[in-house]
Amino acid sequence: AQRVTQPEKLLSVFKGAPVELKCNYSYSGSPELFWYVQYSRQRLQLLLRHISRESIKGFTADLNKGETSFHLKKPFAQEEDSAMYYCALREEGGKLIFGQGTELSVKP
């Protein structure tokens, strides 16, 4: 069955430290993966998608088909990065399958 797993519910780091939010998936087809972010009291918004291969707000994510992973990374965390982060996989029909989310807390 198609599934997205985010093993950490909470990740707490200090400002300036590197961050890696883990995401693993299982999907029989060719996956299309996304990271969505939800800041406090704001709507879910797209952070980045694997096909774009771009860096947004200093975050990057590389699709590793061998390890079926799409981890989100940032070399130096900022306090404004504190938010809920959701990894999502888009199925052929277009619907998204989300992980349970990881809360990132960046402390000063």
Which residue, 4 or 61, is less far from other proteins as judged by CB?
4
User: What torsion do the CA atoms of 50, 99, 44, 29 make, to the nearest 10 degrees?
Assistant: 40
- What is the distance between the alpha carbons of residues 94 and 26, in angstroms, rounded to a whole number? 16
Torsion 82-34-56-68 (CA) sign = positive
Q: CB of 13: closest distance to other proteins in angstroms?
A: 21
43 near other proteins, judged by CB under 8 A: yes
Q: What is the dihedral of CA 7, 82, 38, 6, to 10 degrees?
A: -10
Q: How far is the CB of 2 from other proteins (least distance, A)?
A: 11
Residue whose CB is less far from other proteins, 62 or 92? 92
Residue where the block lists tokens 């900022």: 78
Binding mask 70-99 for other proteins (x = CB under 8 A): ----------------x-x-x-xxxxxxxx
Query: Which chain residues interact with other proteins by CB under 8 A?
Result: 4, 6, 9, 32, 34, 36, 43-46, 49, 51, 86, 88, 90, 92-101
